[in-house]
Amino acid sequence: MTSCYKMNKLKKDFPIFNNNPKLTYLDSTATSLKPKSVIDKLVEYYSQYSANIFRGVYKISEKATEEYEETRKIVADFINARKDAEIVFTRNTTESLNLIAYSLGREIVDKDDEIVTTIMEHHSNFVPWQVLCLEVGASFKVIDINDKGYLDLELDDIKYKKSNIKNTYQILKKIVTEKTKILTLTYISNVLGTINPVKEIIAAAKKINPKIITIIDAAQAVPHLKVDVQDLGCDFLVFSSHKMLGPTGVGVLWGKENLLKEMFPFMYGGEMINEVYIDRTIFKDPPHKFEAGTPAIGEVIAFKEAIKYLKTIGMDKVREHEKKLALFCLKILRREFGNRLKIFGPIDENDRGGAIAFSFGKYHPHDIASILDEEKIAVRAGHHCAMPLHNRLGVNATVRASFYIYNDENDIERLIKGLKKVEKILA
Ligand SMILES: Cc1ncc(COP(=O)(O)O)c(C=O)c1O
């Protein structure tokens, strides 16, 4: 566990641990903690050049605009977008997905068409599409999971790992058709932790229907592993700054330039127009066409510090670290609690991210989380905005412990101790 040890040193970069020295934070899937460099950048903007962007012809507004646009470049580079203009800043992943549903979905999906998603989606990649289908009378098709927490592509674990376009194609052919206008799915499940073979799924879907629009919800992927939009071959990819060390209030919508150009704006108002007359308006080109009104300027500016921080560690190292923690946690949970504790999602750490959801005996997840909180261990309890998935799993709620770069094996050992206390109190 050498890398875990090294990573442990990162805690000093996160001021929250100075203020809460006993905190074991295991809820990064909900939102991550922020390093000092991000907080400092926010303070820099608000204390040195907190002007509005684009409008001013004065120095501090120019400085703010420069800083804002530099973040766009850094985001584009981080996910290997072809152009900075393909990066649209929104409020969060949820807004990015709704933007696509409104601006593109409502234009291209008609009665008798289909939208395909999966049962493991977060509500923000489920409800907008379900509502759209209900509105226009299209079919809403949902790919199921198997008992091991993988997408039900009828592949056993070994085949799944080796999944290639050929076998994914055979299975997907039963679900995706020429009528499927949109395929939208999560890269990593926020409950099961499953890493989906999105590249293969996209390639297979495009082979079945070359006109299909593919959308990746990468809210749990971009913070945790290297994501390359060109390599994945998708049309859109979305994520949130706050889950990857950055400030809240900033989401990213990456889209292929030609699609963004064709799409109507999501919101109308200031900053997204070139010319306005009584009878017509000429919109700006993307990405500004989609950024109506004053954005979260300071937060976008500080977001780049989060990316710089992750780049300094290296995304391969981030992934390696979380894989080791997941393996350690899965092993120790099984060893200490056996069948009393049911882990949902893949048991192979290679196929999963750092979110581990479980149920524990008959104890209510909220009671478990409350007892852990007394020990200063922060975990999440509930349906984690994935009710269809919890219904599918046959449970109302689960406890979820999730890891990020600042966690180490001590945090997991404290979790185990806390769970033993839960058993003592609730048994
Ligand atoms: C997979 C996934 N998609 C979407 C979201 C929504 O993100 P946000 O609340 O930042 O819009 C989350 C948040 O947990 C998530 O885990």
Tens of pLDDT, residue by residue over 226-275, are: 999 999 999 999 999 999 999 999 999 999 999 999 999 999 999 899 99
Query: Mean pLDDT of all residues in the chain?
Result: 94
What pLDDT does 376 receive? 98
CA 260, CA 81: separation in Å to the nearest integer?
A: 13
Asked if residue 39 is part of any domain, the answer here is: no
Q: What atom of ligand 1 comes closest to residue 95's alpha carbon?
A: 11
CA 200, CA 205: separation in Å to the nearest integer?
A: 8
User: Do residues 188 and 321 share a domain?
Assistant: no
Q: What atom of ligand 1 comes closest to residue 190's alpha carbon?
A: 16
Torsion of CA 42, 44, 45, 50, to 10 degrees: 130
Q: What atom of ligand 1 comes closest to residue 187's alpha carbon?
A: 1
Each residue of 174-191: pLDDT tens digit? 899 999 999 999 999 999
Asked if residue 214 is part of any domain, the answer here is: yes
Pocket residue to mutate for ligand 1, from 117, 216, 220, most atoms within 8 A of Cβ:
220
Q: Are 260 and 76 in contact (CB under 8 A)?
A: no
User: Do residues 412 and 398 share a domain?
Assistant: yes
Specify the pairing of strand 281-283 against strand 341-343: unpaired
Both structure tokens of 127: 């409800």
Q: Are 264 and 107 in contact (CB under 8 A)?
A: yes
Catalytic residues: 385
User: Do residues 161 and 279 share a domain?
Assistant: yes
Asked if residue 34 is part of any domain, the answer here is: no
Last residue in a domain, options 310, 332, 354: 310
* CATH number of the domain where residue 203 is located: 3.40.640.10
Q: Residues with beta carbon inside 6 Å of ligand 1?
A: 30, 92-94, 122, 124-125, 186, 190, 217, 219-220, 240
C-alpha 122 to ligand 1 mean position (Å): 6
Each residue of 111-134: pLDDT tens digit? 999 999 999 999 999 999 999 999
Q: Rounded to the nearest 5°, which phi and psi values hold at 391?
A: -60, -40
Asked if residue 37 is part of any domain, the answer here is: no
User: Do residues 369 and 341 share a domain?
Assistant: yes
DSSP 111: T
C-alpha 93 to ligand 1 mean position (Å): 6
Asked if residue 92 is part of any domain, the answer here is: yes
Q: What's the structural domain count of the chain? A: 2
Last residue in a domain, options 289, 310, 331: 310
User: What percent of the chain lies above the pLDDT cut of 70?
Assistant: 95
Average pLDDT over residues 330-344: 97
C-alpha 112 to ligand 1 mean position (Å): 29
Asked if residue 353 is part of any domain, the answer here is: yes
Average pLDDT over residues 383-395: 97
User: Do residues 405 and 347 share a domain?
Assistant: yes
User: Do residues 188 and 160 share a domain?
Assistant: yes
For residue 159, give its domain range.
45-310
Q: Are 217 and 121 in contact (CB under 8 A)?
A: yes
* CATH number of the domain where residue 379 is located: 3.90.1150.10
Pocket residue to mutate for ligand 1, from 91, 93, 227, 243, most atoms within 8 A of Cβ:
93
User: Do residues 259 and 112 share a domain?
Assistant: yes
Give the residue from 195, 194, 216 showing the smallest Cα distance to 205.
216
Task: Verify cis geometry, omega within 30 degrees of 0, for the bond prior to 21.
Answer: no
Asked if residue 303 is part of any domain, the answer here is: yes
Q: Which residues contact 191 (CB under 8 A, 6 or more apart)?
A: 120, 344, 345, 355, 357, 384, 386, 389, 390, 398, 400
H or E element, residue 207: helix 198-208
Pocket residue to mutate for ligand 1, from 89, 240, 241, most atoms within 8 A of Cβ:
240
The yes-or-no verdict on residue 224 having pLDDT over 70 is yes
The yes-or-no verdict on residue 389 having pLDDT over 70 is yes
CA 311, CA 94: separation in Å to the nearest integer?
A: 25
SS3 119: coil
Q: What is the residue-wise DSSP string for 130-141?
A: HHHHHHHT-EEE
C-alpha 309 to ligand 1 mean position (Å): 21
User: Do residues 53 and 179 share a domain?
Assistant: yes
Last residue in a domain, options 258, 292, 310: 310
What pLDDT does 57 receive? 87
User: Do residues 322 and 241 share a domain?
Assistant: no
User: Do residues 347 and 226 share a domain?
Assistant: no
User: Do residues 348 and 250 share a domain?
Assistant: no
User: Do residues 145 and 249 share a domain?
Assistant: yes
Asked if residue 36 is part of any domain, the answer here is: no
Q: Are 390 and 397 in contact (CB under 8 A)?
A: yes
- pLDDT classification of 216: cutoffs 50, 70, 90: very high
C-alpha 307 to ligand 1 mean position (Å): 18
Rounded to two decimals, what is the model's pTM? 0.96
Using CA positions, which residue lies closest to atom 16 of ligand 1?
A: 190
The yes-or-no verdict on residue 333 having pLDDT over 70 is yes
C-alpha 388 to ligand 1 mean position (Å): 15
